[in-house]
Amino acid sequence: MNATTEKVNSSTPIVSTHDADDTRRSIVEGDLLPLSTPDPAAERRLRKKIDLHLIPIVSLLYLLCFIDRANLGNAKIAGLDKDLGMTGYDYNIVLSVFYVSYILFGIPAVVVCKWVGPGWFLPTTSIMFGVCSVATAFVTSVPQACAIRFLLGIFETGMMPGIAYYLSRWYKRAELTFRLSLYIMMAPLAGAFGGLLAGGILRLPRIGSLTSWRMIFALEGIVTIGVSIIALVILTDRPETAIWLGPEEKALVIARVRSERVVGNEAVDAMGRRKFLRGVFSPVTLSVGFIFLLDAVTVQTFAFFLPSIIRTIFPEYTTIQQQLLTAPPYLAGAAMMVSMSALSWRSDRRQVFFKPSTVLVIIAYIVFLTSNNQWARYAATFLASTVFTLGPLTNAQVAANVVSDTARSAAIATNCIFAHCGGLIGSWTFVEWDAPLYRIGNGLNLAAASGVLVLSTLTLLWMKADNRARDARAMEVNGVDESLSGLPEKELEDLDWQHPGFRWKP
């Protein structure tokens, strides 16, 4: 039985639905916990407990998600293109089809995630993309590969925003960035592990009737399905339904999330159109989303074409050696991501940390464009891998700059939709006739990284300027906005970031 339904039939003593409602009312009325001064030691213990129960399983699900998505690049240099008779732009088309469904179903996936609950949604969608991975092992033509990749996009599109939204139910604004990095770190680690795994699998003579690249999809898909079934049993939907939290701990989780709100009493509110649109059309959501689009161009280029890039750098190496050489750059990217996210957590700032990794990416693509030295080009792959850093930072930034749970789900989904569009563009940046130096692809990635640097700086300056303007308006009315007097609480909640008391969090 899934934790979404509270596991009320369990023999473990837990808070009933009625008790959970009483707990929420007590928090609202200030009877149970003071919102402003929780015990720091209790908060540290609670964070550690949440970390241990949530982060490992969602990280593992995302690891498998990214492996099942990016293993196409490993399969390509293992013979997939030849076996399916790919010519011209066929490989790019197979990549693009995935992003078409990824974009079309991104918002609906997050709506379903909120409606049914992450405890059901995340493992179920993971099972389905595991099935798609297994099915890929049996394709015999490019159209069949396109059909399976389209289905894979439908089931994978909700994973990244779904996990980000799920964790935003449990952590405060400053804490969220680092926790997001711990699961998004699985993307570069998936690249490293995927290369190592592909190299190991290719050493096997066969799995059943499957040989060569087909074994990669079959084995990785089976592992995904098995892990997802376990997650379906153990994932907890929200603090109120966590059987591993006591009543006081549940109350503290809810109080911590609510303490950063301008208005609103519910930690998890009902879906509402106005609040959803506030999340989608927040200026910060749109700006950061476009930043993530530009970043995703390079992220997806890196994920899908790194094996091909390594092949052009070291053509004299064997396929297995080339697979293994894809691992170290990914590890460097993971280390950079965690470092920047940890600094973001401690400073409770996000926007400023967009810049360090972006500068390194710019340097990397300048090297790709100007140097023919194989070791200089391989060193540039390490710098380019730092592009993964913006994944947790951008999702945390859009989540921090709206108020309600519904607006957060919409903001994170919108941010990821922008990224999916970037992935679609990225699937066409490297084409076969541009090999081996890929000057067009490298030039486009250099332009994208430069755009990130400029736009993130302008957005930061705008946020600070708008906060000053809001402060000035508040002083003019002596902190009291008469236009809000008498408004029902529902209408106040619907204002979200348009509420006069709201300030952007850089």
List pLDDT tens digits, range 374-403: 899 999 999 999 988 998 899 889 988 988
Report the pLDDT averaged over residues 97-119: 88
In a domain, 17, yes or no: no
Count of structural domains within the chain: 1
Q: Give the per-residue pLDDT at 403.
A: 81
CATH code of the domain covering residue 187: 1.20.1250.20
Mean pLDDT of 314-335: 85
Q: Would 229 be classed as within a structural domain?
A: yes
Residue 52 belongs to some domain of the structure: no
Q: Helix (H, G, I), strand (E, B), or coil: what is residue 210? A: strand
Residues 64 and 126 sit within 8 Å (Cβ to Cβ): yes
Q: Which residues fall within 8 angstroms of residue 243, CB to CB, at 6 or more apart?
A: 3, 6, 7, 10, 12, 14, 236
* pLDDT tens digits along 202-221: 777 777 778 788 988 998 89
User: 354: burial class by Cβ within 10 Å (0-12, 13-18, 19+)?
Assistant: buried
CA 462 from centroid of its chain's CA atoms: 25
Q: What is the pLDDT of residue 460?
A: 95
Q: Could you tell me if residue 131 is inside a domain?
A: yes
Q: Which residues contact 290 (CB under 8 A, 6 or more apart)?
A: 418, 455
Q: How far is residue 504's CA from residue 254's CA, in Å, rounded to a whole number? A: 22
pLDDT mean over 222-227: 93
Percentage above 90 pLDDT, the chain: 29
Query: Which tokens hold the place of 67?
Result: 């492996």
Return the structure tokens found at 236.
Answer: 């907890």
Q: Which residue has the tokens 């099972």?
A: 127
The pLDDT assigned to 19 comes to 37
Burial of residue 87, with CB atoms counted within 10 A of its CB: 0-12 exposed, 13-18 middle, 19 or more buried = exposed
Whether residue 212 is contained in a domain is answered as yes
**Within a domain: residue 30?**
no
pLDDT of the residue at 496: 73
What is residue 152's predicted lDDT score, i.e. its pLDDT?
A: 93
Name the residue range of residue 353's domain: 60-498
Bridge-partner residues for 207, per DSSP? 210
Q: Minimal CA–CA distance to 120: which of 208, 278, 238, 33?
A: 238
Q: Is residue 43 part of a domain?
A: no
27 falls within a domain: no
CB atoms within 10 A of CB 274: 15
